[in-house]
Amino acid sequence: DAGVIQSPRHEVTEMGQEVTLRCKPISGHDYLFWYRQTMMRGLELLIYFNNNVPIDDSGMPEDRFSAKMPNASFSTLKIQPSEPRDSAVYFCASSLRQGPDEQFFGPGTRLTVL
Amino acid sequence: DQQVKQNSPSLSVQEGRISILNCDYTNSMFDYFLWYKKYPAEGPTFLISISSIKDKNEDGRFTVFLNKSAKHLSLHIVPSQPGDSAVYFCAASALSNYQLIWGAGTKLIIKP
C-alpha cells in the first residue's frame, strides 16, 4: 500500500485566497484525522471522520475551516478565506480499528499564507 | 491545559548509549499510550504502544515503561543509533474517547 497520500506537499498563497488540502487514506481504514502542527501549539487534532461521517470537529479553529469526506478514499480540508496565522503543516492520518490504535500519517502539506 | 507533557524539548545522547525520553500525563482516564517518531518533512510514524494493564512493553531496541501511580511513562532506546535522531511524540487516549492527545515532542540527537 502507498500509505496516506496528501497533496499538495507545499502551498503558498496570499491572504484571502481559498486553500484546499487533499488526502487519500489507506484503503480499508475506517478513521481519518486532520491535524495541524505549529511551533506554538504543537500537533492539534482538527477533525476526524468515521466511515466518512464527521465525528468530532471541535478542534476546527473557525468557520473559515471546513472538511469533507465524500467517499472512503478521499477527504478535503478547506480554508476560506485564508489568513497568515493559518500557516502551518497540515497532516492527514488514518487508522483501521475502533478504539485507540496507531494512526498512519501522510507526509503533510506545508501551508504558507502571505 | 496540557494533558500530556514532554518537558524536555531536546535530548542529546552518545551513540551506543541509552536514550530515555519522558512523558507525564494528568488525565487518569487515559489508558492507552503511544510513542511516535518524526523525521523532518515527514509525518509521524508509530513506534510502540502500551496499555494501562501493563507496565512494560518491549520491541527490539525500544521499551516503554508505564508508572500509573505517577502518571508517567518513558521510552528507552538501547543502544542508540544515529538513525534514531528524530522528534519523539508521546500520545495518550482513553477507551471512551478515540482521540489521541499529543505531547509537544522531544528532539533526540544521537552524537557519533
- Output the average pLDDT for chain B: 94
Q: Which residues pair with A49 in a beta bridge?
A: A32, A54
The whole-angstrom separation of Cα A3 and Cα B75 is 26
For residue B93, the chain A residues in CB contact (below 8 A) are: 100
Report pLDDT digits (tens) over A13-48: 999 999 999 999 999 999 999 999 988 888 889 999
Q: How confident is the model at residue A68 (pLDDT cuts 50, 70, 90)?
A: very high
By residue count, chain B amounts to 112
pLDDT on residue A1: 62
**DSSP 8-state assignment for residue A26:** P
Q: In what order do the strands lie in the sheet with A5-7?
A: A5-7, A19-24, A74-79, A65-71
Residue A84 three-state SS: helix
Dig out the grid coordinates for B83 from the structure.
Answer: 538513525
Q: What is the mean pLDDT of residues B82-92?
A: 96
Residues 6+ apart with CB under 8 A from B73: B22, B23, B25, B33, B50, B64, B65, B66, B67, B90
pLDDT confidence of residue A12: 97
Q: Which residue of B has its CA nearest to A48?
A: B99
Out of B34, B41, B94, whose CB is closest to A102? B34
pLDDT bin (cut points 50, 70, 90) of residue B1 is low
Question: Cβ separation of A42 and B32 shorter than 8 Å?
Answer: no
Secondary structure class of B36 (helix, strand, coil): strand
* Interface touch B99/A31, C-beta < 8 Å: no
Indicate the average pLDDT of chain A. 93
pLDDT at A107: 95
pLDDT in tens, B14-59: 999 999 999 999 999 999 999 999 999 899 999 999 999 999 999 9
Q: Three-state DSSP class for A2? A: coil
Residue A73 corresponds to which cell in the numbers above? 478514499
Q: Please give the residue of chain A at the shortest CA–CA distance from B41.
A: A107
Number of neighbours of residue A40 by Cβ within 10 angstroms = 6
Under 8 Å between Cβ of A9 and A23: no
Option in A31, A42, A48 nearest B102 (CB): A42
Shortest alpha-carbon distance between residue B110 and chain A (Å): 22
Residues of A in contact with B102 (CB under 8 A): 42-44
Does the CB of B32 have a partner CB in chain A at under 8 Å?
A: yes
B54 by DSSP, 3-state: which?
A: coil
| Residue position matching grid coordinates 478521499 | A74
Alpha-carbon gap, residue B21 to B1, rounded angstroms: 21
Lowest mean pLDDT among A109-113, B68-72, B91-95, B105-109: B91-95
Tell me what percent of the residues of chain A surpass a pLDDT of 70.
96
A99 neighbors A10 (Cβ within 8 angstroms)? no
Residues of chain A with a CB closer than 8 angstroms to some CB in chain B: 4, 31, 42-45, 48, 55-56, 91, 93, 98-100, 102-108
- How many Å lie between the alpha carbon of A21 and the closest alpha carbon of chain B? 15
Give me the numbers of helices (H) and strands (E) for chain A, helices first please: 0, 11
Q: How far apart are CA B109 and CA B86, in angstroms?
A: 7
Which of A15-19, B71-75, B98-102 has the least mean pLDDT? B98-102
